Amino acid sequence: MKKIDTCYVSELDKFMADFDKKHQKSASQEKEIKKYKKIHKRVKREVTALKGNSKNCPFAL
């Protein structure tokens, strides 16, 4: 199997990154970002709490 170049950035990716820098996020985007930050924070806290007891941890760290 051919090795994948993980450092490659397509022209479309460059365009989208440039667009994101130049334009503000919409209200719905801000709301979604806030929502997922809150979820990530909660899951991280739960995983940390379960870390010592891997038998009950669904993530088995």
Q: Quickly tell me which residue has 């209200």 as its tokens.
A: 27
* Percent of the chain whose pLDDT exceeds 70: 80
Q: Cβ-count burial of 57 within 10 angstroms (0-12 exposed, 13-18 middle, 19+ buried)?
A: middle
The reported pTM is 0.50
Q: Which two tokens stand for residue 18?
A: 């440039």
DSSP the chain: -PPP-TT---HHHHHHHHHHHHSPPPHHHHHHHHHHHHHHHHHHHHHHHHTT-TTT-TT--
- Taking only the tens place, the pLDDT of each residue in 10-33 is 999 999 999 999 999 999 999 999
Q: Are 45 and 38 in contact (CB under 8 A)?
A: no
The mean per-residue pLDDT over the stretch 48-57 comes to 63
